[in-house]
């Protein structure tokens, strides 16, 4: 499926702000077997004094920009054409849960996509006893690692309500779980936390979701902004599997990946240092259409 994607993130400041330096992760990546980027371009307004592109530890494209004068507004626009390859609904070749630890131990690597980095706590996902207890309950009877992952995805969708007003970008996952409400970021962090408590390596994927569904299907939640979902390592034969807890579905041809990491900390679309005297407003618009 070929998509045309547009993203616009803007910041408005009450008084000219010393916005300084930013790190952007909003460019989609070519991932063999998953997606191919045919073209992608980034437009920053005003034009930054410095702009530098590089690839980070996890293989994501990041753009460093710097401004030298105080600004009243900054706008980041990304446009891309991305071919999302059809994903095979693979057979479940994941091991029984009790054999996963051994398979993890047999990967002697700490590289970006080796499972080891995705089990310990990460900056935004600490341990949470309630989530662990909840997860232990919902996977009862699941006989494989993949079955456990799907059970958690299903249960999260059942127990959590999508609510764009309940949380903010920096709301801790504990709070979102206590409320049982939140947006894709909260769903994703809670599931990562749940899976890690079960010994399943789990990470965060940021990306886009097609805006308008194919005829006769429902519009998906999270399509009007950047989206997030979960990846879980299901053993040496199955590898990484991506699931979307907000919509209770495997991430497939409706999903286009921007960045992957342990949690939001590793993939945040805009990181920046700024000195603000007054307030700021930010808005985000996403459009992803099948071509």
From 12, 36, 56, 77, residue interacting with other proteins (rule: CB under 8 A):
56
Q: Does 116 bind other proteins (CB under 8 A)?
A: yes
Q: Does 15 bind other proteins (CB under 8 A)?
A: no
Residue 93 or 119: which CB sits closer to other proteins? 119
Q: Does 50 bind other proteins (CB under 8 A)?
A: yes
Q: Does 18 bind other proteins (CB under 8 A)?
A: no
Stretch that binds other proteins, among 4-12, 103-111, 237-245, 277-285 (CB under 8 A): 103-111
Stretch that binds other proteins, among 47-55, 85-93, 126-134, 226-234 (CB under 8 A): 47-55
Residue 52 or 85: which CB sits closer to other proteins? 52
Stretch that binds other proteins, among 4-12, 18-26, 183-191, 244-252 (CB under 8 A): 18-26
Contacts of 140 (CB under 8 A, 6+ apart): none
Contacts of 77 (CB under 8 A, 6+ apart): 6, 7, 8, 9, 42, 43, 44, 45
Q: Does 273 bind other proteins (CB under 8 A)?
A: yes
Stretch that binds other proteins, among 20-28, 140-148, 180-188, 236-244 (CB under 8 A): 20-28
Q: Does 109 bind other proteins (CB under 8 A)?
A: yes
From 34, 40, 75, 119, residue interacting with other proteins (rule: CB under 8 A):
119
Rounded to the nearest 10°, the torsion over CA 224, 174, 111, 29 is: 0
Q: Does 38 bind other proteins (CB under 8 A)?
A: no
Site residues (vs other proteins, CB under 8 A): 20-23, 50, 52, 54, 56-58, 64, 66, 107-111, 114, 116-117, 119-121, 265-266, 271-273
């Amino acid at each position: 499926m070929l998509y045309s994607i547009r993203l616009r993130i803007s910041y408005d400041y009450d008084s000219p702000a010393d916005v300084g330096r930013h790190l952007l992760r909003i460019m989609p990546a070519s991932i063999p077997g998953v997606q191919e980027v045919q073209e992608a371009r980034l437009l920053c307004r005003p034009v930054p004094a410095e702009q530098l592109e590089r690839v980070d530890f996890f293989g994501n494209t990041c753009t460093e920009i710097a401004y030298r004068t105080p600004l009243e507004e900054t706008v980041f626009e990304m446009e891309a054409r991305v071919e999302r390859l059809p994903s095979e609904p693979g057979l479940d070749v994941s091991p029984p849960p009790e054999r996963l630890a051994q398979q993890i131990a047999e990967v002697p690597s700490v590289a970006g996509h080796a499972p080891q980095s995705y089990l310990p706590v990460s900056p935004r996902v600490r341990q949470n006893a309630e989530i662990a207890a909840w997860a232990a309950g919902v996977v009862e009877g699941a006989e494989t690692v993949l079955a456990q992952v799907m059970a958690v995805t299903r249960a999260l969708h059942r127990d959590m309500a999508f609510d764009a007003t309940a949380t903010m970008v920096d709301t801790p996952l504990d709070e979102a779980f206590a409320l049982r409400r939140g947006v894709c970021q909260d769903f994703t962090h809670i599931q990562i936390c749940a899976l890690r408590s079960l010994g399943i390596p789990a990470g965060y994927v940021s990306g886009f979701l097609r805006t308008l569904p194919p005829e006769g299907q429902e519009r998906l939640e999270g399509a009007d902004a950047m989206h997030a979902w979960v990846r879980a390592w299901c053993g040496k034969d199955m590898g990484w599997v991506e699931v979307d807890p907000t919509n209770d579905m495997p991430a497939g041809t409706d999903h286009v990946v921007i960045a992957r990491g342990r949690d939001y900390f590793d993939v945040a679309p805009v990181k920046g240092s700024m000195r603000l005297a007054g307030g700021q407003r930010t808005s985000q618009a996403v459009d992803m259409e099948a071509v």
